[in-house]
Amino acid sequence: MRNIELVVPPREPHFVGDGFRVHNFIPSAYRLDMKRMDPFIMLDYNSKFYFPPTDKPRGVSVHPHRGFETVTVAYKGKVAHHDSSGGGGVIDEGDVQWMTAASGLLHKEYHEENFSKQGGDFQMVQLWVNLPAKYKMSQPKYQGISNAQIDKYALDDNAGIIEVIAGEYMGMKGTASTFSPVHLMNAKLEQGGKAEFSFPAHFNTGLLVIDGSILVNGMETVPTDHFVLFENGDTRFSIKANEKAVVLVLSGGPLNEPIAAHGPFVMNTHQEIIQAIEDFNAGKFGYLEE
């Protein structure tokens, strides 16, 4: 079995803009740095949090990105997204937004208008996936994936389902297209339900307990809002729901390339970071209204 290397509790939350109250796991939590988690270079988790009604939608105003992809998985609440390459839409509960910033764009994210006016529980994951060097300056791309478009694998004995967002589970292919081998899926388990996973031994692999609590490999209980980092060197692990549970599972092949990161830019060299800043200042990322 693939053993647990570390169970990481949520760090103190901080706000991104005024609409996302997040616990950062990657890269700021102990041992979850960009190299160890390659190709996953950032994971912000907005644990379940109630936002009261407001007429002015909360969120993050226009900002740039270059060199990687942002993946937003919605569990509670709704987000409206727009970017300077023409991508955009509403991410509803259960949906996924996979935005490839690549050569550079501007984007903004806000609580969807009706959700803002009504208020309610908000729960999201945003994951940054690094791009291989040869794709960092490719054209931006946007994949808006509704929950209905995500293939779901039904586990035996009515144990629950696996939503295959990217990669593969038991021969079922994920909906999202990726630039390197990435597996991303939601395990939605009934109480007592069990699921087994197998990824290549050298893939960096972890899971985040979104709801409920689980037993990993029949040995260690992991509560809500905790992240599990697995050791490399073996392939298989199992999870069992102590109560009804939702678990985000991620595993990716490391790119093993130099990482130069500065704020919203992730490239391979310091010089490429300088170029990204110059291109942004020169207006080469397009235009997006605030």
Owner of token pair 């002015």:
56
Using 50, 70 and 90 to split pLDDT, how confident is the model at 146? very high
Q: Give the C-alpha separation, 72 to 57, whole Å.
A: 18
Q: How far does Cα 230 stand from its chain's mean position?
A: 17
Digit-coded pLDDT (tens) for 223-280: 999 999 999 999 999 999 999 999 999 999 999 999 999 999 999 999 999 999 999 9
Query: What is the per-residue pLDDT across 80-105, written as a single tens digit (0 to 9) for each?
Result: 999 999 998 999 999 999 999 999 99
Task: Check the CA dihedral 54-95-45-99 and report its sign.
Answer: negative
Sheet holding 227-230, edge to edge: 4-8, 227-230, 204-211, 245-252, 182-189, 160-166, 151-154
Q: Outline where the chain has alpha helix (H).
A: 34-37, 113-118, 270-281
Structure-block tokens of residue 33: 């740095």
pLDDT value, residue 247: 98
Query: Residue 167's pLDDT is what?
Result: 98
Measured between alpha carbons, how far is 231 from 82 in angstroms, rounded to an integer? 38
28-53: average pLDDT? 97
pLDDT of 290 higher than 90: no
Q: Tell me, what's the pLDDT at 99?
A: 96
Contacts of 85 (CB under 8 A, 6+ apart): 105, 139, 140, 141, 142, 286
Distance CA 46, CA 24 (A): 9
CA atoms lying within 13 Å on the CB side of residue 158: 1
H/E stretch holding 161 reads strand 160-166
pLDDT digit string, tens, across residues 197-228: 999 999 999 999 999 999 999 999 999 999 99
Average pLDDT, the chain: 97
Percent of the chain with pLDDT over 90: 98
Q: In this predicted structure, what is the pLDDT of residue 125? A: 98
4-252: CATH class: mainly beta
What's the pLDDT score for residue 260?
98
Identify the pLDDT of residue 136.
Answer: 98
Task: Tell me how many helices (H) and strands (E) the chain has.
Answer: 3, 26
- What are the Cα distances from residue 107, in Å, to 75, 86, 98, 253? 21, 10, 13, 27
